Chains A and B, each alone.
Chain A
């Protein structure tokens, strides 16, 4: 039995790009705001949320928007990106409360039920994700694949196989590049069933609008960072996302379920 390493993600900027650290932090705040707005503006029924430390202010803010918070579990806090929650019993600064927000108590109860049953399909639907994408993700999850970037690439038409366990994906919409989310670079908060899924593209447009309404300048920068070719590889439970040698801005790093053979995907000509 292989034990996964702790949740972890970081990026290594190239020389002279240290200001990107601040940009990534800012992007995380924009996303938190967007998720809240998506429920307030009835774009979807529920959204997940982490509460930590500053409980009174956070709950006050939710109340101001007429939102109710339903705790789901207490988890160990982590920065940036994590593949899974580490459940914790401790009530202290090292833990957060993972929960769901909605305007409607009935939705919260329904969500909690699906969540506790591990029903990824219905959880995804309630979070407003496309049905085809929810179906494919719940299928991956059942097979124990919690970060199906390679599998989504395989399901994408026009994907070429470079060699064993190495794929090349060409001309995909930049907004669906879910493999950049480890650094907070994302437009959609879900795994598409393929990198050319029409439903996912239409959802991405909606999310793009919400994000731009919060901070259009930052989202323009996000677009410029995401509209680039990149590589993704998983080996020994560590994922590295990289732009091709010597033109790179990021070397991303996160953890996932163990995979003994290296799996690689090259994303080319992102539009």
Chain B
């Protein structure tokens, strides 16, 4: 071949080879780069995941549990509510004795500011008590603007007894208000609310119905509180109440009728549900909440929270101290009172010192041996039997039924789950020192640290590393330990032993 032809050919071949090498190099680089990006991304995801699991979640859990429990109530119309509901639990002497003449909104705002500054975390501030829709619009706006300083979405509680105007809707929209309504069902069920004479009560009910329609048409979301009584939740009525709630309010809170102890008249007492009726109503509501995901039954979540160790739960199950209370109503003169449920005894101001005497004694007396004491602690002191805060809640039987139903559900859905009631000194060991309780600790390798840190308490239940190994790999250790709460769910081993778990618990 002519050299003159060969040289350019060789040159071209070299160029081609160079391109091939370059291409290969480029490819390899891209692959390496891709792998590097993948590795870095995975690393970042892992770090973020651990950050969420070990730092952010615990902080939020602790914040929720300990700092977000305080509720502050603005009570501007404590002495002048136009609704006049039968079961109002404010002290009637409030009004008889003219304790307040009007309200001082600036003093009230100052008190709320002080409470927020002196409190921990960010409390929930609610415009409450009396019919807040009766407030003059400028004052309503004042209170909303004050609440907005502390809560992104101000919460107001209304019995809907005064017509909602476009001004109200404008304010609710511009302040991003989340209205809470207090309605016990359709008009014939809502009869304990509103004026006590028939004619005015009828007008009141018409206003309530119109207001609900207005709220719906305006597209505002709202939550509702219904008080369960013979007027709306007796066996023949509870289904209709649930149906109404599903269509109208999507549920919310369903509180048992609170009968203040001074209300010794037959009129209110005859409306209180019997323990059996209340238990049955709770179970129906629970069923409705399970069947309809959009239906809210707050008590269900609160009972579950108390069992799962998430104490964002309601004050009722949080060992509320009757002398201090976790809720702080700000009265019309700016005075900070105890929870409005305490108004029933005619005292408003809080004690200077807290006390844990009530639950400490209940644990040894009325509630001794109760399966759910750890999670319930005797309930709300304001609901104490015979109007005595030293007693356990008058609704004990109904709460017990609900706790039992929720416990059964949790244990069936998550076999092996740990509940707060499995740790007899849960309050002292977890809540007081602020330790995180992980009900799923036996499932999640990530939480092995928690499992280890919990082992002293778990040992009380018969847990040992050997028993855990045996549970995971039956027969691997040859252990036959079978103690409270851990291996009980193994029905075969119970049957074969012939005498329960052998620990004397009777199971």
**B50-58, B131-139, B194-202, B354-362 - the one binding chain A:** B354-362
Q: A5-B361, A14-B348, A15-B348 are in contact. Are A236 and B353 (CB under 8 A)?
A: no
Number of interface residues of B (CB under 8 A): 33
Q: Looking at B347, B353, B358, B388, which has the most chain A CB atoms within 10 Å of its CB? A: B347
* B390 in the interface (beta carbon within 8 A): yes
Mask for A67-93, Cβ within 8 A of B = 1, else 0?
000000000000110000000000000
Query: In chain B, residues 15-73, which have Cβ atoms closer than 8 Å to a Cβ of chain A?
Result: none
Q: A10-B352, A14-B348, A15-B331 are in contact. Are A253 and B365 (CB under 8 A)?
A: no
Q: A240-B390, A245-B262, A255-B357 are in contact. Are A13 and B349 (CB under 8 A)?
A: yes
Q: A15-B331, A236-B390, A236-B391 are in contact. Are A2 and B365 (CB under 8 A)?
A: yes
Docked pose: A12 CA to B335 CA in angstroms: 14
Say how far A115's CB is from chain B's closest CB, in angstroms: 28
Mask for A1-13, Cβ within 8 A of B = 1, else 0?
0110110101111
A-chain residues with CB within 8 Å of residue B99 when the two chains form the complex? 15-16
- B349 touching A18, Cβ below 8 Å: yes
Overall SS of chain B's interface:
loop
Kindly identify which residue among B338, B345, B351 contacts A11, using a CB–CB cutoff of 8 Å. Answer: B351
B-chain residues with CB within 8 Å of residue A10 when the two chains form the complex? 323, 351-353, 355
* B337 in the interface (beta carbon within 8 A): yes
Closest B residue to A9 by CB, please name it: B353
Query: In chain A, residues 12-34, which have Cβ atoms closer than 8 Å to a Cβ of chain B?
Result: 12-18, 21
- A251 touching B345, Cβ below 8 Å: yes
B-chain residues with CB within 8 Å of residue A251 when the two chains form the complex? 345, 347
Kindly identify which residue among B92, B93, B262, B390 contacts A235, using a CB–CB cutoff of 8 Å. Answer: B390
* A238 in the interface (beta carbon within 8 A): yes
A-chain residues with CB within 8 Å of residue B350 when the two chains form the complex? 12
B-chain residues with CB within 8 Å of residue A158 when the two chains form the complex? none
- B323 touching A248, Cβ below 8 Å: no
* B102 in the interface (beta carbon within 8 A): no
B-chain residues with CB within 8 Å of residue A114 when the two chains form the complex? none
- A237 touching B262, Cβ below 8 Å: no
B-chain residues with CB within 8 Å of residue A237 when the two chains form the complex? 357, 361
- A12 touching B351, Cβ below 8 Å: yes
- B347 touching A8, Cβ below 8 Å: no
- B347 touching A79, Cβ below 8 Å: no
* A262 in the interface (beta carbon within 8 A): yes
Docked pose: A15 CA to B345 CA in angstroms: 12
- B323 touching A12, Cβ below 8 Å: yes
- B358 touching A16, Cβ below 8 Å: no
Closest B residue to A1 by CB, please name it: B364
Docked pose: A79 CA to B358 CA in angstroms: 19
A-chain residues with CB within 8 Å of residue B91 when the two chains form the complex? 246
Docked pose: A253 CA to B99 CA in angstroms: 25
B-chain residues with CB within 8 Å of residue A13 when the two chains form the complex? 347, 349
B-chain residues with CB within 8 Å of residue A12 when the two chains form the complex? 323, 338, 347, 349-351
A-chain residues with CB within 8 Å of residue B93 when the two chains form the complex? 246
Docked pose: A251 CA to B323 CA in angstroms: 10
Docked pose: A247 CA to B93 CA in angstroms: 9
- A8 touching B355, Cβ below 8 Å: yes
* A258 in the interface (beta carbon within 8 A): yes
Say how far A141's CB is from chain B's closest CB, in angstroms: 22
Closest B residue to A259 by CB, please name it: B365
- B349 touching A8, Cβ below 8 Å: no
Closest B residue to A79 by CB, please name it: B353
Docked pose: A205 CA to B171 CA in angstroms: 66
* B243 in the interface (beta carbon within 8 A): no
A-chain residues with CB within 8 Å of residue B365 when the two chains form the complex? 2, 236, 258, 260
Q: A12-B349, A15-B348 are in contact. Are A238 and B361 (CB under 8 A)?
A: yes
- B391 touching A8, Cβ below 8 Å: no
* B366 in the interface (beta carbon within 8 A): yes
Given contacts A12-B323, A237-B361, 4 further A-B contacts (CB under 8 A): A2-B361, A17-B349, A242-B345, A246-B92
Q: Which 4 A-B pairs have the closest CB atoms?
A: A5-B357, A10-B351, A12-B347, A15-B348
Pick 24 A–B contacts, CB within 8 A, sort by A: A3-B360, A3-B364, A6-B357, A8-B355, A10-B355, A12-B338, A12-B349, A12-B350, A13-B347, A15-B335, A16-B335, A17-B349, A80-B353, A238-B357, A242-B345, A245-B346, A246-B91, A246-B92, A248-B346, A251-B345, A253-B355, A253-B357, A258-B361, A258-B365
Residues of B within 8 A of A (CB): 91-93, 99, 262, 323, 331, 333, 335, 337-338, 345-353, 355-358, 360-362, 364-366, 388, 390-391
